[in-house]
Amino acid sequence: ANGYYHSRWVKCIWSSHDLSDAVLIDNFIFNKDVYIQFNSTVGEYVGYTEHGVYNAQLWNNNPGQLQGERAELERVCKPNAEIYQSTITDKS
């Protein structure tokens, strides 16, 4: 299929059992290129294209949006990581 493709990939990454190193990465992708990314260790959006830089500045100046994105680490990543870890631990 020809055309334009937009996707959003959210990743939770951690390696320690206490989840102190957990990171949320939220990628906004257009035609296979990341144009904006939120990384919880950075704490704000970063743009990688002209359009991405423009939107990252807008989103970083929106306190509600930025606060919501920052909260996703605690709301989504850590609870799910705990479930995954307990499932793995129970089976070993």
**CATH number of the domain residue 32 falls in:** 3.10.320.10
74 pLDDT tier (thresholds 50, 70, 90): very high
47 pLDDT tier (thresholds 50, 70, 90): very high
Residue 1 belongs to some domain of the structure? no
Q: Higher-confidence residue: 27 or 86?
A: 27
Give the chain as a 3 state SS string: CCCCCEEEEEEEECCCCCCCCCEEEEEEEECCEEEEEEECCCCEEEECCHHHHHHHHHHHCCHHHHHHHHHHHHHHHHHHHHHHHHHHHHHC
Residue 76 belongs to some domain of the structure? yes
Domain that holds residue 47: 6-90
The pTM of this model reads: 0.85
Residue 53 belongs to some domain of the structure? yes
Number of domains making up the chain:
1
